[in-house]
Structure 1
Amino acid sequence: MSLPVTVIGGYLGAGKTTLINRLLRQSDGARLAILVNEFGALPIDADLIEQRSDRMIALAGGCICCSFGDNLVGALQELAGLSPAPHQVIIEASGVSIPSAIAASVSLLPGFRLFGTVVLADAETVRGQAEDPYIGDTITRQLGDADLVLLTKCDLVAPDAVGATSAWVAEASNGAPVIAVTGGAAPREVLLDLHPSDARPAAAHADAQFDSLILTPRGAVDADAMARALASKRLGVVRAKGFVLDAEGALWAIQVTGRRWAVTRAKPGQQVGVVCIGPAGQLDDTALQALLD
């Protein structure tokens, strides 16, 4: 089985470190492998560290953090040989790097699959940065690579400005979903490849920023058509995962992260159903249920 990889990008100060530390604290038994260019670029909270070496930090709960330097492929291959293997790999791109270059390396490496590219954008500064003659091109290219954008530090910006910036970012990212967050508060179900049974209802989140809906097909489903529809902007879905049966009784796994979707054959015995997650008030329940008609 291939290891899912999430690439997290965004310019310096957008909140990548806060997000990753939050994911590590909320891993709930999921063994996460965090890859960074160098340890100094990601100050892991000290109380999470159990053991440290030159290239690897062992963290509480079975998670690890590795430095890949200029050899990302070698670091990924090293992770693939670990026992037990990690459940998911998260690559933290440097603040000035272009995520698509990292994603391309992942896509070409056997044993790994790109789960999605998540780009963080600072609600206070991103529009000004995009107009800067020195870094504007980097900001634009980072946003253009996103399957999903987290608009961070929204508590520091007036609500009407958050709405305007969200609309601008959505256009700059070619229609990728944009989630406004504070303190790296996007739920783990949006960013990690969890089994549907592990996905907690959105109401369980203290900030109640997300809604969830479970689609339970009673008959055969065209998995490709459903995945394509779930990835469309009109339904309000930012993350979906589950299993459906086709007309011949074969089981298929559906994965949706932002506008990226994939359908693969699944082993028999999985419970049929698809969990859909979106920002509060944006899921089109009627249209989602209509996918089962």
Structure 2
Amino acid sequence: MKIPVTVIGGYLGAGKTTLINHMLRSANGLRLAILVNEFGDLAIDQDLIEAQNDGVMAISGGCVCCAYGNDMIGALEDMRDATPAFDHILIEASGVALPASIMTTVGMVYGLRPDATIVLADVEQIRKNARHKFLHDTILAQLEQADLLLLTKTDLVDASVVEDVKDWLSTVAPIARSLPIANGEIALEALIGAIPFAQRRPMENVTHKSVFDSIVITPDHNIDPQALGEAFANDPTITRAKGFVQTATGTALIHVVGSRYAFDLLDDHHSLGVVCIGIKGEFDPSNAEKHMRHAERTDA
């Protein structure tokens, strides 16, 4: 099965390092590989680092951080071929990089699958930076290329400012989902999806995850993966959906991020179930179940 790759972008100071450190602390057994241009670009918390040698930093929990320098494809191939295999690869884009160009590179590497493009936006600075005559084009391009927009440093401003920025982003990047976060804390499942999905329980009793609701749906019939992907992607209350369904010809892995979806037809069998995640108060699990029922193929 192909390894999913997520690109994390955003202008300088948006909070990418804080987010990645939080993701590493929340990995909970998932093996994550972090790719950065240079180690100096990403300050991994010292208590997470177990060893560092020849461009590879070993991190507690079986995760690693790798500096790719001028050879991103080579670094991606090394991560793809690692034993034991990584569950997910994260690429931290530089502050002025365009995520779409990085995802194009990912698509060139056999055995990897482009997943979400996540762009961070500092609610205090993003509109000011977007008006800067030298930064304007870069900032807007980064935002437009996002599947998920994480609004950072929301604890430093009034709630009205956060809402104003969300409204502005809805015009700049209308396809992306916008999620406010503080201190880089967000449920890991909302960013990369957890494995195995069918064994997950809905998120509960964790303070920083309480902004989300989730449901795991196990279908009773064969599913049309394209119909299901389209339905989830067109539902603005679903932030993330990922999991395995049975089709007329085998098993399919469905992954939905914001309004983008894809599915892979697999040769081997997996436990069936799809986890759907959305913001509490907006997400209605019964709608997700309805989408699943409408995608059933009882005649297959």
Aligned to 1:206: 207
Could you tell me whether the CA contact under 8 Å between 2:198 and 2:274 is conserved in 1?
no
**Deviation per CA, 1:77-126, whole angstroms, max 9, x where unpaired?**
12223222222110000011111110100011111111111000011111
State how far apart, in whole Å, the 2-side matches of 1:89 and 1:61 are. Answer: 15
What percentage of residue pairs aligned between the two structures are identical?
Answer: 42
Name the CA distance, whole Å, in 2 between partners of 1:100 and 1:91: 12
For structure 2, the 5+ residue unaligned runs are: 295-300
In structure 2, the partner of 1:237 is: 238
Q: Deviations over 1:198-235 (max 9, x none)?
A: 5452324313111112233232322111111111243x
The answer to whether the 8 Å contact 1:223/1:254 transfers is yes
Structure 1 distance, partners of 2:128, 2:290, is 41
Letter paired with 2:263: V
For 2:261, the aligned partner's letter is W
Unaligned residue ranges in structure 1 (runs of 5+):
none
Q: 2:73 corresponds to which residue? A: 73
2:123 & 2:84 partners in 1: Cα distance? Answer: 39
Mapping of residues 89-238 of structure 1, within 5 Å? 89-195=89-195, 196-197=197-198, 199-207=200-208, 208-234=210-236, 236-238=237-239
- TM superposition score normalised by structure 1: 0.94
**Alpha-carbon offset, residue 268 of structure 1:** 5.3
Which digits, 9 at most, give the CA deviation of each residue in 1:133-183, with x for residues without a partner? 111111100001101111111111211221121121132123210101101
Q: Which SS does the other structure have where 2:100 is aligned?
A: helix
Q: 1:47 to 1:198 in 2, by over 3 A?
A: farther
Q: Which amino acid aligns with 1:211?
A: D
Q: CA RMSD in A?
A: 1.7
Aligned pair in 2 of structure 1 residues 62, 269: CA closer, same or farther (>3 Å)? Answer: same
Distance 2:190 2:284 in 1: 17
CA 1:143–1:199 in structure 2 vs 1: closer, same or farther (change >3 Å)?
farther
Mean Cα deviation higher: 46-55 or 197-206? 197-206
Contact 1:4-1:113 within 8 A present in 2 as well? yes
Deviates more, 1:169-178 or 1:211-220: 211-220
Q: Which residue of 2 aligns with 1:22?
A: 22
Distance in structure 2 (CA, Å) of the matches to 1:209 and 1:165: 19
Give the residue type in structure 2 aligned to 1:120.
Answer: L
- Code of the residue aligned with 1:224 in structure 2: it is Q
Runs of 4+ in 1 over 4 A off after TM superposition: none
Q: Which amino acid aligns with 1:14?
A: A
**CA deviation map 1:211-264 (0-9, x unaligned):** 112233232322111111111243x11111122223x36322211122221112
Alpha-carbon deviations, 1:47-97, whole Å to 9, x = none?
Answer: 111111131111111111110111111111122232222221100000111
User: How many aligned positions are there?
Assistant: 291
Farther-moved stretch of structure 1 (36-45 vs 167-176): 167-176
CA 1:155 to 1:29, structure 2 compared with 1: closer, same or farther past 3 Å?
same
